[in-house]
Structure 1
Amino acid sequence: MSCPAVRRQTGMTNYATTSQGDHVAYDLRGGTGPAVVFVTGAGPDRADDPITAETAQRVADAGLTAITFDRLGRGESPAEGRLDLDRELAAVAAMIDVAGGSAVLVGHSSGCALSLRAAAAGLPVTGLALWEAPLGDPAETTQAWADEIERLLDADDHENAMRHYMKDMPPEWLAEMEASPAWSAMARTVAAYRADAQSLAWAQHALEDGTLDVAVPVLAMYGVETFPEMPVAAASIVAAVPKGTEKELPGAMHSWEPVPMAAELAEFARACAG
């Protein structure tokens, strides 16, 4: 995973090729200071994530390097086959290489678990800024949930895989998707969530059995208005790492406000860079 990324540019979008041959679309902002790489959770790509884009721009305006990218199978990063955790970690590694060889990872939702796995796997991560990691169920429960998603994906049952992936989320989120005429197409995007499920299962096991081997600074954040389990998850992550800090920031509905978040990330990334 540490092989240098092969980079090219088409129009306004940059592309890198991972060590596993996948092509990852990304935007690079700034380019002079410590780097942050945004790792989204299940669902969004760059085109429909204006909050992350604004935050990245504000981080770059503060003198840092900021990278946003389309995870595999999403947006301008098309990918076929089994989109598992190893392939996704190779994509993250390619983005760190683009950033200059080391970076703070900014994980959002299930992207928090992916970021934790990247750090534990030895990628050149200088720190982790995690926003509302959806962790807290017993590891056995999380593993069974992830196994069922993989079973449904292997059976090409995308609609039920999407339903199962979202079973613990607010029911109105799924109801809105199912009411859309594009529901079948939307459900097929769940093929890109395999790595999310695998990383969440891994993270929950690591938290439960005390094997979360992450030595870099970790900033675990959640919004002022959030689901009750999010502060609990942040506290559990902080308790499991040697350099952990828990923080509440302005935000609601599982998202942050770009101005205070960018300021927090800039301060954290500079501290991690020494």
Structure 2
Amino acid sequence: MLIDLSGKTAIVTGSTGGIGLAIARGLAEAGAAVVISGREQGRVAAALAELRATRGGPLARGVVADLADAAGCQALIAAEPSADILVNNLGIYGARDFFEIDDAHWEEIFQVNVMSGIRLSRHYARGMRERGWGRIQFISSESALNIPTEMVHYGVSKTALQGLSRGLAKVLAGSGVTVNSILPGPTRTEGVIEFIGAMARERGVSQAEMEALFLRENRPTSLIKRFATPEEVANLCVYAASPQASATTGAALRVEGGIVESIA
């Protein structure tokens, strides 16, 4: 299968590292003009430099904006009024005892993880519908189905994204615009490496040993028995953004290594 996204503009939020940057790279390799977004000019510039060698690299551009509030989302919209592909990847997480998650932290995680995607999709979906073609993705998580006790707030926000994705797909039914959620499992991103590294130091084991321990203790149903790479997640996202995925919409697409105990 040859995926050709030349002539398409793709916006990937939270794309200066990790899964977001891997998705941006995959879309650029397929020929899309990719818009990198992040809060820091230096990280945006570094991400753009990484895309330069790809097929669509010369067309890549960046926007520095904090999408955690309406003003930041509007700044991105003002800089890039139109897009054919929108990947709502931006998200924050962190272990915290449920009884210590105050209202302010609940509000923060919903503004970043949920409202940023709502605000951007509300704008870009209109243009996609008018043109009769578009792809919108929400990067959810297997934690949306297996709510982690150490991150209830995170799991709830990711569950909300699945409901949002399904609902928007129904709103856009028959328009030529597809909307899907992507469910990664534990993925070896910079943030996760740091998180696992801290746990490894606490327990006096190596990083590799801690990854195996984490899976055994927290995700024992994993079928691949390892962390995924950002590129493995990005591969599914690139396919879902392609013309070949035109009959896939309203779906929760899993790339979580078989953790979820369901055949549906």
Q: TM-score if structure 2 supplies the norm length?
A: 0.38
